[in-house]
Amino acid sequence: MTNKEGQPYLDRQQRPYSRVIIQTEQHGKRWLSGFAYQDSPFLGWRIGDEVEIEIEEKGQYLNFWLPKPASGGALPLNFTTRFSAIEQKVNEIHQMLSSVSIEPAAPDGSPDVTDLGKNGLEPPLPF
User: Per-residue pLDDT tens for 21-52?
Assistant: 999 988 989 999 998 888 888 888 888 888 88
Q: What is the pTM of this model?
A: 0.48
**Quick one: pLDDT at residue 63?**
94
**Hey, CA dihedral for 37, 43, 49, 55, is it positive or negative?**
positive
Q: Are 66 and 77 in contact (CB under 8 A)?
A: yes
The vertex-92 CA angle with 89 and 98, nearest 5°, equals 140
Please compute the mean of the pLDDT values over residues 52-68 and round it to a whole number: 89
Tens digits of per-residue pLDDT, 100-120?
A: 777 666 677 666 555 555 555
How far is 55 from 89, CA to CA, in rounded Å? Answer: 34
